[in-house]
Amino acid sequence: MPEYACQIVSVGAPALMTNYIGDSDIEECPSFGGAFAVSADGEAVASLPLGVEGALLVDLDKLL
């Protein structure tokens, strides 16, 4: 995630990022899940680990 945080800081805007968990039998489209919210200063304020299915609740006030 550090490479994403650097890009977010360079843009100066918070970001919400997500990835769905795909079918592991489909080689041409691997997806590993995970999600995170990063403030404009590059701080991860919430995250959901890779390989975990679920919902990520984010306090949007912490992003601003």
Looking at the structure of the chain, the number of domains it has is: 1
Looking at residue 29, what is its pLDDT? 64
Q: Which domain holds residue 6?
A: 2-48
Helix (H, G, I), strand (E, B) or coil at 2: helix
Q: In angstroms, rounded to a whole number, what is the distance separating the alpha carbons of residues 51 and 45?
A: 19
The answer to whether residue 62 is domain-embedded is no
> pTM of the entire structure?
0.75
The answer to whether residue 60 is domain-embedded is no
The answer to whether residue 61 is domain-embedded is no
Tokens describing residue 20: 């769905």
The answer to whether residue 55 is domain-embedded is no
pLDDT in tens, the chain (64 residues): 678 889 999 999 999 998 876 666 666 666 677 899 999 999 999 999 887 778 899 999 988 8
The answer to whether residue 25 is domain-embedded is yes
In angstroms, what is the C-alpha Rg of the chain? 13
Give the residue carrying structure tokens 């390989």. 51
Looking at residue 55, what is its pLDDT? 87
The answer to whether residue 8 is domain-embedded is yes
